[in-house]
Amino acid sequence: MYETVLIPVDGSDESLAAATEAVDLAASEGTIHALAVIEELPMHRRSGKAEKFDQGGDGRTEAEDATAAVADRAASVGIDCEQTVLEGVPSREICSYAEEIDAEAIVIGKRGASESAGEILGSTTERILKKAPATVVAVPT
């Protein structure tokens, strides 16, 4: 059982499945940190994808909803949960935040909302596995 568990979420079914697993791995007196990262896309990646930006909003509401879902799961078993929303490159922000809170484990889905179907691991998950300052549990979906 881990005392400090970081759960990066993006609102996908995969990330919420990882959250369920993380709640099981967290010590009853521990703390879960639910983290959503709003990715700022550079201008060169925006061209040709106008529909992504026509949906309105900056993604903050979805990010807050995702962290709230984790908090609800943690509360259902009596575990404290801190909710955080950051902006930036997801893998960098996740690893930096894990170091900041001295996380013992990062529990993440093997794939996220924006990953293509052909890859074994999502690119964010792969980057976290390479750079994480803590144990990483990649939950299959």
Residue 95: per-residue pLDDT: 97
pLDDT one-digit tens code per residue, 28-60 = 889 999 999 998 766 544 444 444 444 556 789
pLDDT one-digit tens code per residue, 67-98 = 999 999 999 999 999 999 999 999 999 999 99
Residue 106: per-residue pLDDT: 96
Tokens (6 digits) for 9: 């979420």
pTM over 0.85: no
Alpha helices in 34-113 (DSSP H): 43-46, 50-53, 60-76, 90-101
Residue 121: per-residue pLDDT: 58
Q: Which CATH architecture has domain 2-139?
A: 3-Layer(aba) Sandwich (3.40)
Q: Quick one: average pLDDT of 132-137?
A: 95
Burial class (CB in 10 A: 0-12, 13-18, 19+), 109: buried
